[in-house]
Structures are given as C-alpha cells and as structure tokens.
Amino acid sequence: METLEFQSEARQLLRLMIHSVYSNKDTFLRELVSNASDALDKLRLETFRDKDLVADTSDLHVAVEVDREARTLTVRDNGIGMTRDEVIGLIGTIAKSGTAEFLQKLKESKDAASQDLIGQFGIGFYSSFMVADKVTLVTRHPRAEGVRWESTGEGTYTIEDVADAPQGTSVTLHLKPADPEDHLADYTSTAKITEIVKRYADFITWPIRLAKEDGAEPTTINSRKALWARPASEVTEDEYAEFYRHVSHDWNKPLETIRMHGEGVFEYQALLFIPSQAPLDLFMRERKRGVQLYVKRVFIMDDCEELMPEYLRFVKGVVDAQDLSLNVSRELLQQDRQIQLVRRRLVKKVLSTVKGLMADKPESYETFWREFGGAVKEGLLSDPDNRDAILDIASFASTADAGKPTTLAAYVERMKDDQQHVYYMTGDSRATVENSPHLEALRAKGFEVLILTDPIDEMWVDAVPGYRGKTFQSIAKGQVDLETEEEKARAQERQKDFADFLEWMSTTLTDRVKEVRLSSRLTTSPACVVGDAHDLTPTLEKMYRAMGQELPPVKRILELNPDHALITGLHKAFADRGGEDASLVESAELVHGLALLAEGGDLPDPSRFVRLLAEHLERTL
C-alpha cells in the first residue's frame, strides 16, 4: 500500500466543493451513476475498436448496494475500469493543474457555480464527500491489474494493487452519521435511493439494479424508456401521452408532439410537447418553464431557462445533449455558443410547428392561440429575430368577422388596393372598441380594423414596424387619412370657418387637452379624444402607474365632428355670443367629457361633469 499526499490546495478545494458548489446533496448519486454509465459506454466502444480486448460485455449494468448496519452505499459498474496510472492521474490529483488560480477565482466569485469547472475529471466524483467521511474505490481495466484507492478527503489518500478485483469500478461510500433532523437525507434507505435514481437517471441506457436488503434478486429501478432516442415509427401515441404526463404533470393529452435531432459538431435530441390547455400560472411571476435538460440521458435540471425563451414557457419536454459545457455542479449552464444554437433551433421548430397547425389542423391551431396567444405575443418585444415568424402565426379579433379571429396574412389580402396601413385599436374589451367613435369613419368607408384587447397588445404595436410592407396604424392616435381629394378640399374650407372657434376651444380646455381640431374619423359622434402618434395610450399609462412608475400627465387631442348638430350649434353660439359666455365654457367642458366617456375613459372631475350636465338639462326643459 502506498500513501500519497494531495497538493496543498486540495483540502481547501474539497471544503469549497462540499459547502459552496452543490446546492443539493442528492446530486452525488447522480454523479456516480453518470460516471458508471460513461464507463459502460466506453467499454462497449473499446470492444468495437479493439477486437483483441478481452472483456465481458454480456451483462453490462450499474449496481447499487446499501448496507444499513455498516452505513455504506456502493455504486458498481462492470465497464472499462481504470489502470493504476489513470487512478493517480485522474482521481488522485484533483488539484493538479491551475488549482491555485481556480481557488482564487472561486473565492472571488459570488456565485461559485458560475465557474466552468466540469472539464476537470474527478470533480463530480468528489461530491461523494458531501455525504461520506471515507470513500473507497476499487477498479480494474481489462488490460491491467486491479487497484484500490481510498481517502477521507483530508490531506492524503492510499493506493494499492488488488489481484482479484472484478472488471469495472466500484465506489463505496462510508456514510456520515445519520442526522436525526434530516430524515430526507437517509442514503441507506432503498426508497430514497430509488427516488434519486428515478429523478436523475431514469432514462439511462443501462439497467440500474438495486440490491434488496432481504437478499432477494436485485431489481432494475430505472425505466430506460428514453422515447426521444427511439425511432419515431416505434413510439405509439399512448407512449407519448404517458411521457407527457410524466414531464408535465398534466393529465390532458398534448396538443402537439415535436421531435428534433441535431447532428454535426454538437449532437442533441429533443422531445417537446405543446399542451392543450394553459396552466393556471402561465402569467404568474413565480411560474417555471417546462423543458428539462439531460446530458447523455442523465437528468441535469428542470425548467431550463437557457433552452426556451420566456414567451414559450408553456412548452414541455426534454432536451438530451451528447456533450454540453456545464459548470461544476451541473446546475447552471454556461452561456455558450452551443446553448444559443440549440435554443434558436428549438424556437424555430416550435414556431414552424404552430404554423403547420394553421394549415393542417385549424381547430388545434385555434385552441393553441386561444390558450397561449397572449404569452406568444410577448416574443414580439423580446425576440426580434423571430418577430416575423410570430406575426405569421398570430391571430386577432377584427371588425370583419365578429366571431372569428383573423391572421395578418388574411387581413393584408383583404386590404383595399391603395391601403398602406394595418389599422388597429387597443382597448379593455371588444365591446369598448366596437362602440368607440374612432371606428365610425373607417367602418363607413369599409376599412377593416384589428381589435386588440390583451394587455401585451398595448406594448408590442409600438415596437413592431409593420408586416409585409404594411405599417401598423392606431385609429386612436395621430391623423388617420381616409379622405378623398374632394373631401380634403371641403375640409380645408371648414378649417377656415372653424379656425377662431377651434382656437377658443383649445384655450378654454388648455388644462385638459393639447389641441382641438376637426376630425376626419367621426360620422355620428360629436367628438373624440386621440393621442399623438407617439403618445402612450391611457391604458398603457395606467399599466405603468400600477407598476409604480410615475409619469407626467399626457394631454391628448380633442377632435370635433363639424357635421354634428351639437358642434355646429356650439360653433354658432360662439359666433353670436363670443367666448366669454360662461355657459359656452361649460359646454366645451361637457363636449370633452362626453368624448372621454365615449371611449371608456376616466373623467378628470366626475362630480363637476354631473353637475354641469344636470344644469344644462335643466335649462333646456
């Protein structure tokens, strides 16, 4: 037996490993099982490459054994094993190269898990010392003698030759004394071991067998049913539905199943599901995304935010990578090119699948958009690279059909020949928009208007420049040019006639409005209020204030219908009596209040409005 010393930093490194890197002690078993699975893969590959290699490959597996009395846990495989030099070079010198620099970076980092450390072989193996005060490793390579390595994780380790060691590697953990206050960390419990294996290694190719405490035959505790690794022709719809329930905890059948296989420099497989019903927490801040990450069928993490953007958070499923740049604890992904590449491909595949539903399964598409459209539209703000693809699959309520939403492509096809804008209006509800005076002229002239009532609609319409060469135009903001040349000439004449009156109205209501002007968008209502092209809408103002953001009051524009009897009468009264008449001033206030109420807005002083209206009605009776 030979006793060797770790380098001087090893003890400190182990202490940091145990207390700073892993947030969940259960991960030690994941690391050991993952190493065992890798050893089995390597042996199978080596026997293909080297026909002279003498090794037993008839029953490759991982075995887990528990001894409650001795408080030991053993993970054993009959894979490739290691030579003495490999044990010393790979496991015995965990602190070999660059350790001092690594320790310094680890100390300086507030998030220890942010360091890219997984490339140093042995780091995962040493997570065993979180739960064990001594670790014994026995291993044999098919071409070498057996070796026993043992350490308490302090300053030294021992190594000796073992003549009768079986093929492969066994790691025996001499568990720390039981913590009576932490019954969940009882690693001598077969139920606990089974739960960890099923969580982290259920889909590993090789059988993982757990020895029974009563001496009965070991039982295989992992399902090995990685559907994404099987040919699509061999997987039934019932199997997909069962697996979807497993990853989503949703007892409904998925709306659509998506399979992907990436080859080349970076290989991965993905099995994704679009649910048929939105979860209750879809728009809650605490909700999680639904894509799980595996590496070589070993579970790494739930809710992998790096693989699926926020606006597709409802997508469930699995991504299994052959190799991935992980941090030391495998609990956070590094932001590298591979992850970004996979993410882009997954997003494009999901969006293209939804587009396929539009063409091939319209009922499924309608279900999808009804359940998830509000979330998907968030991508119009957060994902400019896929903005066109999102617009292609979006649907909106429209004045063209009271019961059926329309796509933008269908809207553009129905546009008038000389129409340059996609007209829309935002509001709290469809009824509010349809009853708005802003719609009157467009409805009279046969223009279709999109009715946008989701809160996110208030934001994306200003961020998206247009669709297929057509710009988005709010009918409640800026000028809406609907007039013919003849109508424009008539409007100019009216502008001259009303010039003094408009100036008086603007001065009278200067505390309430930015400007008073004649309208080209009204046919039956006396007045309406509109915003400048780049003003916030009243609804958006309320949203910002609800989030605690203080905004200066936004004055809007009051537009008057010169053909309405109320406006012509007020114009004539102004010409006859002048602008000093108190009754006319009150009438101007009432016109502005009526315009606010017509669009569902809030009056600045409701009690004053009611009093003025009552007094004016009283004088007319």
Q: Name the 3-class secondary structure at 185.
A: helix
76 within 8 A of 210, measured Cβ to Cβ: no
Query: Residue 453, annotated ligand binder?
Result: no
Looking at the DSSP bridge assignments, the partners of residue 521 are none
Query: Residue 124, annotated ligand binder?
Result: yes
DSSP one-letter string for 278-299: --TTTT-TT---EEEEEETTEE
Identify the residue whose tokens are 């206030």. Answer: 589
The helix or strand, by DSSP H or E, that contains position 101, with its residue range, turns out to be: helix 99-108
Query: Residue 589, annotated ligand binder?
Result: no
Query: Residue 120, annotated ligand binder?
Result: yes
Query: Residue 77, annotated ligand binder?
Result: yes
Query: Residue 557, annotated ligand binder?
Result: no
325 within 8 A of 336, measured Cβ to Cβ: yes
User: End-to-end alpha-carbon separation of the chain, Å?
Assistant: 114
Query: Residue 469, annotated ligand binder?
Result: no
* All residues at 6 or more sequence positions from 467 whose CB lies less than 8 Å from its CB, including other chains: 388, 391, 408, 412, 422
Query: How do beta strands 168-175 and 132-140 pair?
Result: antiparallel
Q: Name the 3-class secondary structure at 58.
A: coil
Identify which of 114, 174, 169 has the alpha carbon closest to the alpha carbon of residue 139.
Answer: 169
Query: Residue 314, annotated ligand binder?
Result: no
DSSP state of 20: I
269 within 8 A of 228, measured Cβ to Cβ: yes
Query: Residue 96, annotated ligand binder?
Result: yes
3-state secondary structure 369-422: HHHHHHHHCCHHHHCHHHHHHHHHHCEEEECCEEEEEEEHHHHHHHCCCCCCEE
Estimate to the nearest angstrom the gap between the alpha carbon of 215 and the chain centroid.
Answer: 48
Query: Residue 322, annotated ligand binder?
Result: no
Estimate to the nearest angstrom the gap between the alpha carbon of 499 and the chain centroid.
Answer: 54
Determine what percent of the chain falls in helix, strand and coil, rounding each to the nearest 5: 40, 20, 40
Identify which of 455, 483, 459 has the alpha carbon closest to the alpha carbon of residue 472.
Answer: 459
Identify which of 131, 158, 5 has the alpha carbon closest to the alpha carbon of residue 75.
Answer: 131
How many residues appear in the chain?
621
d(CA 200, CA 409): 45
Query: Residue 82, annotated ligand binder?
Result: yes
d(CA 558, CA 539): 18
Query: Residue 31, annotated ligand binder?
Result: yes
75 within 8 A of 33, measured Cβ to Cβ: yes
Identify which of 331, 361, 315 has the alpha carbon closest to the alpha carbon of residue 113.
Answer: 331
> How many other C-beta atoms lie within 10 A of the C-beta of residue 25?
16
Query: Residue 121, annotated ligand binder?
Result: yes
120 within 8 A of 172, measured Cβ to Cβ: no
Q: What is the dihedral of CA 218, 220, 221, 224, to 10 degrees?
A: 170
* Residue 213, phi-psi category: left (phi > 0), alpha (psi -120 to 50), beta (remainder): alpha
Identify which of 315, 392, 381 has the alpha carbon closest to the alpha carbon of residue 346.
Answer: 315
Q: At what angle do helices 565-577 and 485-508 cross, to 10 degrees?
A: 60
Binding residue positions for ATP: 31, 35, 77, 82, 96-98, 120-125, 169, 330
Binding residue positions: 31, 35, 77, 82, 96-98, 120-125, 169, 330
